[in-house]
């Protein structure tokens, strides 16, 4: 669980720049594996798509794991905190309604990493979508339903 001190350090030096590519990661409250059911995980995916529709971000690659997600995106008409607030709050409402639950879905804060221009975006995307393999959830990436990348 993020401590208050750790959460504040996540914000230190955070800068939002339109056109910059970022890797964003956030985890569920108490690492609860709510997205083990792919249908619940699709509610998070819907919010990635909504961010694209709202022109807040261009999704490049993502994976929704049982208790967290990784999202590679190009920031458009938003800030990182604004984008994550919208994504996390909308997905929380949808998941809570679907599961007839109340309360916090996501831990506070999120991790962001700006991707340098010289980094290989496809390699970063491959790393993201291979998370289910490394976690032992599937034997082949294509056997996991909660991921996508624009290069495929």
The domain of 110 spans 4-138
pLDDT tier for residue 4 given thresholds of 50, 70 and 90? low
pLDDT tens digits, 21-74: 999 999 999 999 999 999 999 999 999 999 999 999 999 999 999 999 999 999
Within a domain: 63: yes
pLDDT tens digits, 89-122: 999 999 999 999 999 999 999 999 999 988 999 9
Collapsed DSSP state (helix, strand, coil) of residue 148: strand
The residue with greater pLDDT, 9 or 27, is: 27
Within a domain: 96: yes
Give the domain CATH number at 11. Answer: 3.30.70.1290
User: pTM, whole model, 2 decimals?
Assistant: 0.90
Within a domain: 152: no
């Amino acid at each position: 669980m993020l401590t208050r001190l750790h959460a504040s350090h996540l914000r230190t030096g955070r800068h939002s720049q339109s056109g910059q590519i970022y890797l964003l990661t956030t985890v569920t409250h108490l690492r609860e594996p709510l997205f083990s059911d792919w249908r619940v995980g699709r509610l998070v995916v819907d919010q990635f798509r909504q961010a694209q529709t709202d022109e807040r971000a261009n999704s490049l690659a993502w994976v929704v794991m049982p208790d967290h997600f990784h999202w590679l995106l190009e920031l458009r008409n938003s800030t990182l905190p604004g984008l994550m607030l919208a994504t996390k709050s909308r997905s929380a409402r949808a998941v809570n309604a679907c599961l007839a639950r109340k309360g916090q879905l996501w831990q506070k804060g999120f991790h962001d990493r700006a991707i340098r221009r010289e980094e290989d975006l496809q390699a970063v995307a491959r790393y993201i979508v291979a998370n289910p393999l490394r976690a032992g959830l599937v034997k082949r990436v294509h056997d996991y339903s909660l991921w996508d990348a624009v290069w495929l």
